Structure 1
Amino acid sequence: MANSPEMRASDVDRDRVAAVLREHTAQGRITMDEFNERLEQLYKSRTYGELAKLTADLPDVDLRAHQAKAVGPAPAERAGMHPGMRAAWGAWAVASGINWVIWLIVSVTSADLVYPWPLWVMGPWGVILLMSTIFGSGPRRT
């Protein structure tokens, strides 16, 4: 059954049109202001006819061709680690570093070596991350 202009559009249809508009913006056919205006109209649209008006003055774009040009997996996935796991390790490193700096400042200003309490912050968290990294599932292949 062909999609008539009066037929209701779904969220997937709106997302598809949004991707087309993003591609046209990237190629310089429409400005960011036009993109934002069309995007606002896009999410107010209810029918296929309203969606078609948003791209009527633009050439067709084959989004599948653009996806096929992808170079490969992200650097984190090439390294064999899930991007979420890399982010978790990054958060652990930042939090541990901040705690060690606070410990150092307290130790220096008190003129006494304070108990290394940051070990209690970074130790259990690090062990859990290490176990997740070693025994967790690897990057998902699609």
Structure 2
Amino acid sequence: MAEHRDVRASDDDREAATRRLRLAVEEGCLDLQEFDDRVGRALGATTRGELAGLLADLPTERRQSLPPVRGGAPRWLKTLWAVWGAVLAVNVVVWAAVSVAEACPLDFWPKDLLAPAVVLAVVTAAHAARRRASLPSGG
């Protein structure tokens, strides 16, 4: 960002500056009030030079940055969890309605939907472990 100080700042430039300011708070270089002030000025900055001025007195980044993590679980896995949750919710509502209508409460048959949840949990855990193993170790 130091080069081309008079070039207009993009949203990505402003976001990078706010990430660096957030890291400076975590490192203990800025207090929360100064962080709040600088983030406000960073979001209102129009040139890269303004952003560079907000970061000039901070030490170079000490913590190794990991690549950005996007979205956690893949969309297909989130969709499966959402479908399972919706099916479970509908089954519980139907069970409750039928149990209220009956003189004697029915056996809680939506419990049979817990087996697919266990399978989904295992798939989710395996995906998370594989993803964690593929990330570079920060140290």
Unaligned runs of 5+ residues in structure 1 are 77-81, 113-140
Q: What is the aligned residue count? A: 106
Instruction: Choose between structure 1 and 2 for higher RCO, CA contacts under 8 A separated by at least 6 residues.
Output: 2
**Partner deviation per Cα, 1:92-139 (whole Å, 9 max, x = no partner):** 122111111111111111128xxxxxxxxxxxxxxxxxxxxxxxxxxx
Give 1:4 deviation, angstroms: 4.2
Q: Normalised by the size of structure 1, how large is the TM-score?
A: 0.58
Q: 1:62 to 1:12 in 2, by over 3 A?
A: farther
Residue identity matched to 1:43: L
CA RMSD of superposed structures (Å)? 3.6
Map of 1:92 onto structure 2:
83
Question: What is the one-letter code of the residue matched to 1:30?
Answer: L
SS in 1 for 2:66: helix
Task: Measure the CA separation in 2 of the matches of 1:11 and 1:61.
Answer: 21
TM-aligned CA deviation for residue 89 of structure 1: 1.6
- Unaligned regions of 5+ residues in structure 2, if any? 104-133, 135-139
Does residue 56 of structure 2 align to residue 56 of structure 1?
Answer: yes
TM-score, with length taken from structure 2: 0.59
2:37 match: 37
Q: CA deviation at 1:44?
A: 0.6
